[in-house]
Structures are given as structure tokens and as C-alpha cells.
Structure 1
Amino acid sequence: MILMLCGTGDARKLAVFLIGRGLPLTASVVTASAAERLEEAGISTRTGRLDREAMIALLQQEGYRAVVDASHPFALEAHANAMQAAAALGLPYFRYERPGLAFDKHPRLIKVHSYEEAALAAKRIKGSVMLTTGGKTLEIFAEQLLGDPEIRLTVRLLPCLENMEKCSRLGIEQRNVIALQGPFSREMNEALFRHYGTQVMITKESGAEGSVEQKLQAALDMGLYVILIVRPQLHCAGKGKIFDSFAGLAQAVGAELAADCGRKNETAEKREG
């Protein structure tokens, strides 16, 4: 059995793909709504955050034989917890990484490596800034951009109560809050940029499946500055492996589980002998 961390839309597709290949799994998700979408596809789920110790306990109690990490590319804590838990038990760790985006150099494309760098870059450019990186790191941008008379900060994020309360607490006016559930088409992105008079757009390099490409290309074609937070590089050690294709990951997981089953049978035969 596989424990699979799911945190994106393509993670659901991967889970369905693995089950279709005869690889049994349980999907671990944070929210009840994510669990509901997976269960609609016939996938067994468990809900709630897991730190390293909780994941080790779960892996042991349920007898999982492998960990597949398909959480969000920027979920660094989740990646670390999964890798460390798998390593602690000697289990194989398989990470699915969305294919990256390849963009030629563009005079209005600014690549940075952290949220702090992104906020400072926007502060230098000024103008109407649309933030599309979600609510988790909203404080970083509010600290740098709110209160500057030459900057209008609009934020586009999920319409959940936590995000709305955070916007209110940080002093982001309702007229500057775009509470919508994606993904968004190119036409939708263009309409929002025009409506808010956007001059600078901040986004993350989540990968091709995260609808970032449409958003980024639409912004550049409209003459906006785009501040792109580059996806952090994940390095695996020990039994960890990274894949950017469903087929490659499925083949590797299947081979590892088959080998594990073979080792168990061999051990059982020796005991009987």
C-alpha cells in the first residue's frame, strides 16, 4: 500500500493513474473538500496535516510500503516531513514534480527566489500590483507594499474565511480583494488585469499544470511586469527519487513494491525452511 500526499489538481490525476496501474494507495490531504474530490474518483483518503512524527506513526500503523509526494511544489515543509519520515523507516520516497515552464528572456519578466525578493522587486517598480501567490505569505507583501501612495496592492486568493480574515487584519481593503477559485483561463486573467489596471503581477512557478503559463503569458503580452518566484529545487537522498511523468513514477513505484514483496517472500521461505 502507498501513502500519497496530494495537494494539487494533477495529484488527483496521478492518483487515478496509479490505481489504474494496479497500485493501491491512500491519498493524504489537508482539507475535507480535497478529500471529497478524490473520493468521487474512488480514491481512499485521510484528512489532516501530518508533521514528521505523525507521518512516521501513520506509516508504521497502517503498514505502508512507499511514500509518493504529490503535494504543491512550494510545500517545502510537507516535502521535508515526507522525506524524513520515509527515510526513518527505510521506505522509498517518490516525488512527482510538475514539468517546469520554459520562457525565453523577456525584458518585463523578473525572476526571484523568495517571497521577500518578490515584494522588494514590486516595491521598486510601484504601480498597480496584483498578487496571485495565495494567502499563506500575504504578510510579507503587505509589510512592503501597503501604505505606499504609489502602490495599489490587489490580492487574488481562494475565497475561504481564513484568507478573508487575514486580509482584514492586514488592512487590505475589500475593493482590493479578488476572492475566486481557479483555474483561470487566459481571457479571465486578461479581464482581471484590465479591470484593476494591473501593471505588475506576482506569481509562483508552480508548473505547467497550475495554469501559471496562461496567466504569465497573458500578463507579458499585455505589457505588464511579471515577478516570477522560481520553484525551489528539491534534492532527494537515500531511496528518494523525483519524476516529472506519471508513467515513469508508476513504473518505479511498481518495481519497488514488487521487489519488496519478493524480499518478504524470500524471508518467509527461509523461516519455514
Structure 2
Amino acid sequence: MPIDAAKALAAGPRSAEITWTAKDVQLYHLGIGAGRPATDPDELRYTLESRLHVLPSFATVAGAGAPGVIAGLSMPGVDVDLAGVLHGGQSLRLHRAVPVQGSATATSRIAAVYDKGSAAVLVLRTEVGDAEGPLWTGEARIFVRGEGGWGGDRGPSGRLAEPSGEPDRVVDRPTRPDQALLYRLSGDYNPLHADPEFARRAGFDRPILHGLCTYGMTLKAVVDTLLDGDVGRVRSYTTRFAGVVRPGETLRIRMWRERPAEQDGQARRAGEGRVRVAVAVAERDDAPVLADTVVEHS
């Protein structure tokens, strides 16, 4: 079997030094649609170096996306065809604000391997810290078609109950026809997002948008509309990739505020809260794109 679960879980962590600059942050922000309109003061926070703030989802590409999903496929015990790989979900927990420029050590390991029957799911956990301490923890769930069925643990479902009531905000965010070509310059060069021939081999009629591009566009929408444009309020962000986006389509982003005194069985400090989010493609009868999406904030 190309995935040896025991070997993958027993392998030691891998560490890599990563660096990034303000230019990397600006390129990422442009790749997720920032800068429209170009002179809007709210957009200049993402594009102009003299007032640059870092959207926390930049952490998924800091250091040109290494280690990332593709790097996880080179871990011991993992030998799979890239055409059968999809990004199944992503979570991010911030320990401090992401600096505009910096260097850090990223340490990754396969934290879990699940058998979904027709597929396997690898959980790649990455801890990133610099000289001052931890910066963020990321967890990518990598879905590998055709590699399940060995009788292993199916793992948790992770499905959440649907948000109740009408959303607090609904915004549409168009993607550009060349969005994937721009976004990939931040480090994710998977040919699924650029090469029509490879996309067809993977079962798609044409290249699709990176799930992490949609992930970043969604967080920006939440920050800009419900968190007063303050990127520092984001504490964590998690999602499940439920469908694909074709470059040029429009994201319809629905947001629900949650303000209960207790969430997940634990009392939360005053001022803390959560935003539930659902993302769909407007042109395809609201076909789901992101599900089970939660932004925790101060």
C-alpha cells in the first residue's frame, strides 16, 4: 500500500527554516483579491507597505508554502500520485500576530492517518515559532483518493450543526479568471491549478482554484465586515473544503455571529466570540465550497 500508516506516524518531525518579507505578504494579499478598489483606504492596509497589516491566513504560505501539503506527501510512509490528492481541510491557531517580515522554524509531522474506505486522510501538523516563541499552529487534512480500505481508524467526522437563523452578513466576492495563476506565486505550484492536462487527469474539466485561496478570501471577508478590519482579532480559523471553485466564479459568503456565554462547554471571556461561515459558488445554485467553517476572535 502506498501509505504505510504506522511508518508515517512513527516518523520523526521535520524542521525547516522559513523567511518572508513585506513583498511576500503583499503578493499573497493580491492573490486573494485584495486591492480592489486600488485606492480604497481599507484595501491599502493589505497592499501598501507603509501601512501593511498581515491577514493571519498568510501563515499557510509563509516561507513560500513550505512545509505544505505537497511537502507532506514526501513524508516517510507516504508515496502517492499527486493527481489523486485534494486538500480536505485546514485549521490555523494564532499564538501571536504574524509579523510583516520575519524568519522562523517550522516543524511538521504526520499527526494522524485515517481510513475513509475509498480514500485516506493524512493530518499534517505544523508548529511555527521564532526567537520570541510560538507564532502559529497549522493543521492540513490531506485527502488521498483510492488509498483507503486497510481497516484503519476512520477518524472524527468533524461535521457541525448548521447555523440557525438568517446570516448576519452575506457578501459576494468575485474571483478573477487568472486568480489561480496569481495565487500560486505565493508557493503552491500544484499543476492542478494551472495545467489543463493535469487537471483532466485529476478528474476536472479545467484547472481549479486553490482551496487555500478561497480560505484566505473568506477570512478577509470576515475581518473586513464583522471584525472592523482588525486582523489582530483573529484567534483561530478552521474549515472543511466541500467543493471546488473555477477561476472566474463568484464566492457567496454567509456569516453568522455567535455570542453565547458558553461555547463548546467552556465559559468565554467577555468580548470573545465566534463567526460561523458558509461559502458557496453563486453561479452554480450556491454549490458548497467551504463548510464547517469557524473564525474565533477577540
| Same fold, judged at TM 0.5 (above) | no
Q: Which has the higher contact order (CA 8 A, sep 6+)?
A: 1
Q: Give me the TM-score of the superposition, normalised by structure 1.
A: 0.25
Structure with more helix by fraction? 1
| Bigger-Rg structure (1/2) | 1
Q: Which has the higher strand share?
A: 2
